[in-house]
Amino acid sequence: MYNLSLKLDFLLLEFSEVQELQILHFVVFLALYLITITGNFLIIAAVAFDHHLHTPMYFFLINLALMDLGTISVTIPKSMANSIMNSRSIFYLGCVAQVFFYLFFAVSDFVLLTIMAHDRYVATCNPLRYETIMNRKACIQMAVSAWITGLLYAAIHTSSIFSTPFCSNVISQFFCELPALLKITCSELYLVEAVLLDLALSLSAGCFIFLVVTYVHIFITVLRNPSVQAKQKAFSTCLPHLIVVSVFVFTGCFAYMRLPTSASSTWDLVFTTLYAIIPSLMNPVIYSMRNKQLQVALWKLLHVWCSLKSIPQIAL
């Protein structure tokens, strides 16, 4: 046993020892990564350039897209680089950065989704006071609180886990995942991290309960509304958010609530890949499919881009 803080790198889990399968992994991850960043950038651009979408819901949606970009950019590029270079290594400081930034973006994401539920609650259950409650200053404060919560959470967990010595430098995941790092600690200080994880689960459960209670009130209010058009409008704005929350929560639960094992398994890798990629990939798709205003904004953005692209050809 040794203290890895004196060593330079960790060894990550590779998807396969066969070179052809490593290349396949690179191609699949590259396609998923490009689709994800394109979708989220389109959401940001569409909302930014369409003044009709300068409302609290879309302001939060921009922040969500930024968090999704950060979450997937922390893990996937390094995994792709290792596959194409036939390598498993990641520098010690690179592993520290992965843990910190992944926790930062993921926790901020979950807090923001909770805040967005409050926004939908006010819009549905108290529409006459919506502009007063969800004013510009309040929205900025809520978004900043989500980012700060993620920052504090990431700083506490990262400093805690890397203050412990490690018995091995082999991580049984394709990125520096917190549970995988806990498996290779060789100090009783890991109990401190376990307590922090329990606290995190408690806070997550509190946010989840808040989400459930909020949506119960929303659905009761919507069902009591006699207007069919009002019901359709409420469902069109609330349903995407509810689906996004469900994808985020269930992929995380599958990954973190599986039975712990000392050795890596194919299912561990599958579950981690799902929660590391699927939420960031699906969020733009879910919001654009159910939101007509966003669809219109995206078509306008595409039209402007095509027009700008044709200008040089016209000049020639």
Residues 102/74, Cβ–Cβ less than 8 Å: yes
DSSP 29-65: HHHHHHHHHHHHHHHHHHHHH-GGG-SHHHHHHHHHH
The pLDDT of residue 137: 94
Sorted by sequence, the CB contacts under 8 Å of residue 115 that are 6+ apart come out as 60, 142, 143, 145, 146
As a dihedral over the C-alpha atoms of residue 111, residue 78, residue 273, residue 179, rounded to 10 degrees, the angle is: -70
Q: Which CATH number goes with the domain that contains 264? A: 1.20.1070.10
* pLDDT tens digits for range 66-84: 999 999 999 999 989 888 8
* pLDDT tens digits for range 207-256: 888 888 898 888 888 888 887 777 777 777 788 888 888 888 777 776 66
Q: What are phi and psi of 128, to 5 degrees?
A: -70, -25
**What is the domain count for the chain?**
1
Mean pLDDT in the chain? 82
Residue 193 pLDDT grade (very low, low, confident, very high; cuts 50, 70, 90): low
Q: Would you call 268 helix, strand, or coil by DSSP?
A: helix
Question: In percent, how much of the chain has pLDDT > 70?
Answer: 85
Token duo for residue 22: 């490593």
* Global pTM value: 0.86
Which domain, by its residues, includes 37? 4-315
186 vs 78, 167, 190, CA distance in Å? 26, 5, 8
The pLDDT of residue 6: 46
Question: Which of 166, 160, 167, 170 has the alpha carbon at shortest distance from 191?
Answer: 160
Cα–Cα–Cα angle for 258, 190, 176, rounded to 5 degrees: 60
Long-range Cβ contacts of 166-169 (<8 Å, 24+ apart) = 166/2, 166/3, 166/4, 166/5, 167/1, 167/2, 168/4, 169/4, 169/7, 169/9, 169/10, 169/11
The pLDDT of residue 157: 85
* pLDDT tens digits for range 1-47: 444 444 568 988 877 777 788 888 899 999 999 999 999 998 998 88
Q: Looking at residues 130-152, what average pLDDT do you find?
A: 93
Q: Looking at residues 261-268, what average pLDDT do you find?
A: 57
C-alpha span between 229 and 280 (Å, rounded): 31
Q: In residues, how long is the chain?
A: 316
| Other Cβ atoms within 10 Å of 60 Cβ, number | 23
Question: Which of 285, 243, 282, 259 has the alpha carbon at shortest distance from 71?
Answer: 282
Residue 316 pLDDT grade (very low, low, confident, very high; cuts 50, 70, 90): very low
| Other Cβ atoms within 10 Å of 88 Cβ, number | 16
Q: What are phi and psi of 185, to 5 degrees?
A: -75, 150
251 vs 48, 64, 101, 255, 280, CA distance in Å? 30, 17, 19, 6, 11
Q: Looking at residues 85-100, what average pLDDT do you find?
A: 90
